[in-house]
Structure formats: structure tokens, C-alpha cells
Amino acid sequence: MLHVLLVTFPFFALVLAGYLAARRRLLPLEAIPGLNGFVLFFALPCMLYRFGSTTPIAQLLDARVAGLYLLCGLLVVAATIAFTLNPRIRWNDAAFGALVAAFPNSGFMGVPLIVALLGDLAAGTVILTMVVDMVVTSSLCIALSRLDGAGGSGRAAVFGAARKALRGVLTNPMPWAIGLGGVASAWAFRLPVPVEKTVWLLADAASPVALFTIGAVLARAQMTANHPMPTSDYLPVAVMKLVVHPLLVLGTGLVAIRLGLGLSTAALTVMVLTAALPSASNVSLLAERFGADNGRIARIILVTTAAAFLTFSGAVTLLT
């Protein structure tokens, strides 16, 4: 356990540093979108391209991993909505609560952290789960969030939200970086040396800046969401993310292995650790954009990020 904590501590310490910097105004809140933009459009795509281009293409196209992870994600979404939907928490808030319960922070935190723990070969599985969450889970939850409408207008809102979600996927540089990395891996293509060094430098910056930005984003969300809220509105969703989701992936994966479906234990370990990550911080931005209760989403992300230092480290200790 101590060895695991020694590996995970710097990652969570960087999140804490970003949080404190924003809370104490050492980092102006107005600067956070700039940091976010640097990570999203420059550093993180370069990191994903590097891992994608150096990962065997078969690992990036493993349908067993994608299918099993998607099944578990859909079950988490359905269970979270069924548990939280009530006269006060309607479809919009319930759907984004379900998204934050099923979508781990695999991009900003998962890839560098799990690679640090398990080695470069783990990157392909994490990246594949991230594609599933970005393309399918996010689009589904955004569409479900529009079900508060009624009749034909409600259906039109659902289809409109689905189209908007797909446009968001197409304009997100991360899936493109993963796709280009996969093509480079399949063709054994390498960038010209000066270009490759530039991309690699940006990739090296992704992990520390992304983790610092997570903390700053969480601090900003907490500072701007002042309305009181009962713990029953967000704590069960945090438990769903940190406990139920990884246990569901583990149980489903063990059944798949027992049935001889060809899922490797190494891939299952990576999938479980990915599911055990805290909630993705970018869900807060999506919730704000679609008019959901961003204060609730921010609290879930904050609780899962703080608690994951122990829960994620415990999962690593049990599985490795």
C-alpha cells in the first residue's frame, strides 16, 4: 500500500496544488480557461497521440474491452437515473448525475496515472475506454437530459441534443488525436524528428498541467456554487462512481473471463482501475452548458477526487 501511495501521491498533490492556488487567488479564476484550453487543445492531444502511435493497433481496437466497458457504463447510467430521479431532480440533473457517475477522469488523470503504475502497455486500454465514454456515454446522457420536454417538442429536443453532442465529439481534438495515433501505429509511421520532439514536449506537459487544472476547476466550481444542498443529492452518486462502478466492471469482467470470451486479466485490471478513478471534471462544463445544476455536479466531482486518493490507491493494492 505504501508503494502505491508513493506513486499516486504526486498526482493528487498536483490536484490539491491547483485547488489551493485558485482558492487563495494565486491563480486568477480568469486564467483557468486558458489552462484548460492549453491542456485540451495542445498538451493532452499530443500525449494521446504519443501513446496511440506507440500502442499496438489491436489493443486500440479490442471489441471485448469496449463492449464490456460500455455495458457497465450503461448499467451505471440506468441505475443512477433510476435512483436519483424524483420530483425535484428531473431528467436534466439526473442525466448529468448519471454521466458523472459513469465517466471517470481518464483523460486528464487516468492515462498518466495508470501508465505510471502499470507501464506503457496499459495506455491502450485506458484510451479505448475514454473513447467509449466520449462518444457513447456522453452523447446518451446529453440526449437523456432533454427528456424534461413533452410530446413532439421533447423528442425534437432529444434529437437536437444528440446532434449537438455528436458535433461536440467531432470538434473535440482528443478523439482525433487518438485516431491519428492509431493510424500511425497501424502504418508504423513516425513524425519527422523535429516535429516529433515538439509533440513529445507538449505531451510531457500534459500530466502536470492537467492535474493542476483539475484542482483549479474544482475550486472555481465550489466558489461559484454557494447554494446549500443535502448530502443525499450528491453523496450516493459519488459512492456509485468510486465503489459500484469499479466493482461492476470487475464482476462483469470475471464472468467474461470465466465464459472464455478472451478478455485478458491485464486488460481487466486496467478497466477496473479506470472505473475507480474520480469523476471527469469536464462534466461540470457540460452541465453548465445544458443548464443542469452545476453545483451538484461540482460537489460530486470534488468528493470523488478527494476520496479517490484512498479508494483508488486501495483498488491498486488489491489488484496488483
Q: What percent of the chain has a predicted confidence (pLDDT) above 90?
A: 62
**What average pLDDT does range 276-301 have in this prediction?**
87
- Highest mean pLDDT of the ranges 96-105, 226-235, 294-303: 96-105
The pLDDT-based confidence of 66 (bands split at 50, 70, 90) is very high
What does the alpha-carbon distance between residue 11 and residue 210 come to, in Å, rounded to a whole number?
10
| pLDDT, greater one: 289 or 277 | 277
Question: How crowded is the C-beta side of 63, counted as CA atoms within 13 Å?
Answer: 1
Q: Is the pLDDT of residue 154 over 70?
A: no
Number of separate domains in the chain: 1
Q: Is the pLDDT of residue 279 over 90?
A: yes
- Per-residue pLDDT tens over the stretch 258-272: 999 989 999 999 999
Q: Is the pLDDT of residue 132 over 90?
A: yes
Residues linked to residue 104 through DSSP beta bridges, in sequence order: 279
Q: φ, ψ for residue 292 (rounded to 5)?
A: -80, 175
Task: Write down the pTM of the prediction.
Answer: 0.89
Q: Is the pLDDT of residue 256 over 60?
A: yes
Judge whether 22 and 220 are in contact, CB under 8 Å: yes
| pLDDT, greater one: 289 or 167 | 289
Q: Is the pLDDT of residue 153 over 60?
A: no
Pick the range with the lowest mean pLDDT from 39-53, 221-235, 275-289.
221-235
Question: 180: domain CATH number?
Answer: 1.20.1530.20
**What average pLDDT does range 22-50 have in this prediction?**
92
Q: Which amino acid is at 178?
A: I
What does the alpha-carbon distance between residue 22 and residue 118 come to, in Å, rounded to a whole number?
32
What does the alpha-carbon distance between residue 306 and residue 39 come to, in Å, rounded to a whole number?
21
What does the alpha-carbon distance between residue 87 and residue 54 come to, in Å, rounded to a whole number?
50
The pLDDT-based confidence of 169 (bands split at 50, 70, 90) is low
And the C-alpha cell for 74? 450503461
The pLDDT-based confidence of 107 (bands split at 50, 70, 90) is confident
CA 6 to chain centre: 23
- pLDDT at site 269: 97
Residues linked to residue 279 through DSSP beta bridges, in sequence order: 104
Mean model confidence pLDDT for the chain: 89
What does the alpha-carbon distance between residue 263 and residue 274 come to, in Å, rounded to a whole number?
16
- Report the candidate in 94, 75, 29, 156 with the shortest Cα–Cα distance to residue 287: 94
- Report the candidate in 85, 109, 110, 88 with the shortest Cα–Cα distance to residue 97: 85
Q: Tell me which residue range forms the domain holding 190.
A: 2-319
Reduced 3-state DSSP string for the chain: CHHHHHHHHHHHHHHHHHHHHHHCCCCCHHHHHHHHHHHHHHHHHHHHHHHHHCCCHHHHCCHHHHHHHHHHHHHHHHHHHHHHCCCCCCHHHHHHHHHHHHCECHHHHHHHHHHHHHCHHHHHHHHHHHHHHHHHHHHHHHHHCCCCCCHHHHHHHHHHHHHHHHHHHHHCHHHHHHHHHHHHHHHCCCCCHHHHHHHHHHHHHHHHHHHHHHHHHHHHHHHHCCCCCCHHHCHHHHHHHHHHHHHHHHHHHHHHHHCCCCCCHHHHHHHHHHHCCCECCHHHHHHHHCCCCHHHHHHHHHHHHHHHHHHHHHHHHHHC
- Per-residue pLDDT tens over the stretch 177-217: 999 999 999 998 999 999 999 999 999 999 899 999 999 98
**What average pLDDT does range 273-297 have in this prediction?**
88
Radius of gyration of the chain from Cα atoms? 19
